[in-house]
Amino acid sequence: MTYQLRDLTGKVVIITGATSGIGAAAAKTLVEQGCKVVLNARNEDRLKEMVSSLGESATYFAGDCSIPDVARAVAKKAIDTFGTIDTVVPNAGIGFYGSILDHSDDDVNRMMRTNYEGTVHMIRAALPTMLAKKEGDVVIVASVAGFRGGDIEAIYTGTKHAQVGFAGGLDRELRAKGVRVALVCPAGVETEFALGVGRTAGEEKLKTYLRPEDVAFQITTIMRQPRSVRTHIWTMWSMQQDS
């Protein structure tokens, strides 16, 4: 008997950091699977372009999801437009490589708030709808840095450790309530991430990294698992990357 994966047709998914890289690839993949997507990022012009390309299965709310009122507005947009929320994918993230002393206070605070507070507040906003249905998925896009950071990413690593710890506690809280919590933890992905602050556009090593579509595939795979199954930590490297 063929293993029966879930049909995602009609499922409503919130994705943060949705205008490029992993978020954009996930939105495209999930719409192809029949999902309705609610996109969030800071850049409204790029969000409009995304929604235009995805059609009636997509809508957006622009703003910084680390601000609780913005996160709640994103969740409200999902309910007002598509009637419910089935999955939330906190994906918004930024990184500045270098010494702990290399960047401004504002940049350091923005990284910590985006990567961790944005995750927490978006989940808090989306969760009541899933709890009411006793079913849902939280798929947090973190990083392998959440388990072992390099010598030029201490603060970034701290934000990813925070996501990992948060997800572990959340999984233990929500499992009995029907909501699954998964972490997708890729190594380097060829995206706009950290360009100009540790990476250079067009550099050769980026060609050896994971592709955004690789991570989008894992997000979709987690969601398609039967509801009788939950998997929690997915770490990913390309064949060219050291682990």
pLDDT class for 219, splitting at 50, 70, 90?
very high
Task: Please state, rounded to an integer, the average pLDDT across all residues of the chain.
Answer: 94
For the chain, give the DSSP string. Answer: ----PPP-TT-EEEEESTTSHHHHHHHHHHHHTT-EEEEEES-HHHHHHHHHHHGGGEEEEES-TTSHHHHHHHHHHHHHHHS---EEE--------S-TTSS-HHHHHHHHIIIIIHHHHHHHHHHHHHHHHT-EEEEEE--GGGTS--TT-HHHHHHHHHHHHHHHHHHHHHGGGTEEEEEEEES-BSSSTTBTTTB-TT-GGGGGSBPHHHHHHHHHHHHHS-TT----EEEE--TTS--
What are 176-211's pLDDT values in tens digits?
Answer: 999 999 999 999 898 766 555 556 666 777 788 999
Active-site positions read: 156
Select from 80, 91, 77 the least CA-distant residue to 30: 91
Per-residue pLDDT, 191: 72
Q: Which CATH fold topology does 12-236 show?
A: Rossmann fold (3.40.50)
pTM of the model as a whole: 0.94
What are 118-151's pLDDT values in tens digits?
Answer: 999 999 999 999 999 999 999 999 999 999 988 8
Q: Domain residues of the chain, as ranges? A: 12-236
Per-residue pLDDT, 198: 55
